[in-house]
C-alpha cells in the first residue's frame, strides 16, 4: 500500500514512519511543514530507502496537497500534522487554529476529492485516519472514571479546543459525505526523538545540565503515559484493521503523577549518570506557578482497542522510561541540534 503521513517528521509521526518502513512492505510519503518540532534527523536511517519519500508541504496549501496526492496515489492517509504543545497554545493560539482546524479541513477536502475519483475497489479500501488526543475530553478531577470513546468533549486549552474542532470536522465529513474515516485519541506519549519542550525530555536535559527541574503547582497532575513505539504500532493496526467511522482510545495503562514521573527520572539518572557533586538529582526539583487552566487528571480506557484489534502496550512505564533516559544520554548531540537556538528550555505559557 501507499501510505501518506502528515506530520511524519514530528515526534509521533516519525515513530509511525519508522515502524511502517521497518516492519511492513508499504511505501510512505511523509508530508511535513518542518516547524520547530519537525526534524528530519529522526528519519535519517530511512533517507536511502526506496519505499520512503518526503515532501515539505504545509497542510493548509491545497494545491501542493493535490499535487502530492496525484503523484503518490495513496491508499491510506494518516493525519498527524498538528501544533501540539499546550503552553505554546496559551502564548499564541492563532497557529493552533490555523494548522489544527483549517489545515485539517484543507486536507479533508483534498483527500475527499481524490477519493471520489477512485474506482469502487480503491474507494472501499481507502481510509483517512485522524490522530487526536485525550485532552479533547477535558478533566477527570475528583473522579476515578476513565475516558472512553463516548466521553463528552470538554477541552480546556486552545490546543485541546483546536484538536476537538478537528475531530468534529472529521466526523462530519464521514456523516455528511460518507467519507471513510477513523479517529484515535491517545494519552501522553514519551520516548526517543521527543522535542525538549515536553516534560520528560525537558527534565532529562535540565538534570544533565544541573538546571532546575520545574514542576507546575504541586506536581499532583495525573497523566497516562504511552511509549511512542507502542503508539506507532497501535496506529498502524487501527488504519489497517479498524472499522470505518469508529473511534479508538489508545492508552499506556500507566497513570502517574507528574512529580512521580520526575522523581523516577532522577533516580534512573542517579544510577547511570550521577552528578559530579554526588548530590541526588531530586534536589534540583523546583515548584513553579501552575499552568493556566491546567487539567488535573487524564486517564484512558483502552479496552476497546484491546478487544476489537487485539492491541496492548508492550512497555510498562518502568521499562519505557528507562529506555527513554538511556536514549537521551546516547543522543545528546541530536538534542542540542534540534533546539537550534530558538528554544532554550525556557518556561512557556505562563
Q: Taking the alpha carbons of 157, 90, 290, 196 in that order, is the dihedral positive or negative?
A: positive
Q: Is 159 among the residues known to form the active site?
A: yes
Grid cell in block for residue 39: 526534524
Within 146-297, residue ranges assigned H as helices are 158-177, 199-208, 228-241, 258-272
The interaxial angle of helices 104-116 and 158-177, nearest 10 deg, is 20
Count other Cβ atoms within 10 Å, centred on residue 324. 23
Q: Is 310 among the residues known to form the active site?
A: no
Catalytic residue among 52, 137, 159, 236: 159
As a whole number of angstroms, the distance between CA 246 and CA 183 comes to: 7
- List C-alpha distances in Å: 120 to 116, 125, 128, 171, 177: 9, 9, 16, 22, 16
| Sequence-separated (6 or more) residues with CB below 8 Å from residue 225 | 187, 188, 189, 190, 252, 254, 256, 261, 317, 320, 321
Catalytic residue among 83, 134, 224, 230: 134
Buried (b) or exposed (e) across 48-61, using 16+ Cβ within 10 A?
eeeebebbebbbbb
Q: Is 91 among the residues known to form the active site?
A: no
Q: Does residue 78 contact residue 19 with C-beta atoms inside 8 Å?
A: no
The interaxial angle of helices 62-72 and 104-116, nearest 10 deg, is 40
Buried (b) or exposed (e) across 186-204, using 16+ Cβ within 10 A?
bbbbbbbbbbbbbbbbbbb
Report the catalytic residues. 134-135, 159
Amino acid at each position: 500500500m501507499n501510505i501518506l503521513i502528515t506530520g511524519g517528521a514530528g515526534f509521533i509521526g516519525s515513530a509511525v514512519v519508522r515502524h511502517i518502513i521497518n516492519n511492513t512492505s508499504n511505501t510512505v510519503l511523509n508530508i511535513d511543514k518542518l516547524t520547530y518540532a519537525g526534524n528530519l534527523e529522526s528519519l535519517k536511517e530511512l533517507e536511502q530507502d526506496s519505499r520512503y519519500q518526503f515532501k515539505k508541504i504545509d497542510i493548509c496549501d491545497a494545491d501542493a496537497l493535490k499535487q502530492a496526492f496525484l503523484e503518490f496515489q495513496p491508499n491510506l492517509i494518516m493525519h498527524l500534522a498538528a501544533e501540539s504543545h499546550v503552553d505554546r497554545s496559551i502564548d499564541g493560539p492563532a497557529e493552533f487554529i490555523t494548522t489544527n482546524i483549517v489545515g485539517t479541513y484543507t486536507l479533508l477536502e483534498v483527500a475527499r476529492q481524490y477519493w471520489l475519483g477512485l474506482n469502487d475497489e480503491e474507494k472501499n479500501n481507502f481510509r483517512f485516519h485522524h490522530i487526536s488526543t485525550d485532552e479533547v475530553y477535558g478533566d477527570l478531577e475528583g473522579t476515578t472514571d476513565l475516558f472512553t470513546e463516548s466521553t463528552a468533549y470538554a477541552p480546556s486549552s486552545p490546543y485541546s479546543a483546536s484538536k476537538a474542532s478537528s475531530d468534529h470536522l472529521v466526523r462530519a465529513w464521514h456523516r455528511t459525505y460518507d467519507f471513510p474515516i477513523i479517529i484515535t485519541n491517545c494519552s501522553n506519549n514519551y520516548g526517543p526523538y521527543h522535542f525538549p519542550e515536553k516534560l520528560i525530555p525537558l527534565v532529562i536535559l535540565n538534570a544533565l545540565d544541573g538546571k532546575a527541574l520545574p514542576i507546575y503547582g504541586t506536581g499532583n497532575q495525573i497523566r497516562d503515559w504511552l511509549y511512542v513505539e507502542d503508539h506507532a504500532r497501535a496506529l498502524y493496526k487501527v488504519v489497517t484493521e479498524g472499522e470505518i467511522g469508529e473511534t479508538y482510545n489508545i492508552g499506556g495503562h500507566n497513570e502517574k503523577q507528574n512529580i512521580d514521573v520526575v522523581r523516577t527520572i532522577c533516580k534512573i539518572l542517579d544510577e547511570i549518570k550521577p552528578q559530579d557533586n554526588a548530590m541526588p538529582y531530586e534536589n534540583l526539583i523546583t515548584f513553579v506557578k501552575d499552568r493556566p487552566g491546567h487539567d488535573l487528571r487524564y486517564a484512558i480506557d483502552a479496552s476497546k482497542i484491546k478487544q476489537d484489534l487485539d492491541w496492548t502496550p508492550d512497555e510498562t512505564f518502568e521499562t519505557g522510561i528507562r529506555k527513554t533516559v538511556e536514549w537521551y544520554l546516547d543522543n545528546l548531540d541530536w538534542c542540542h541540534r534540534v533546539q537550534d537556538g530558538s528554544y532554550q528550555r525556557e518556561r512557556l505559557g505562563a
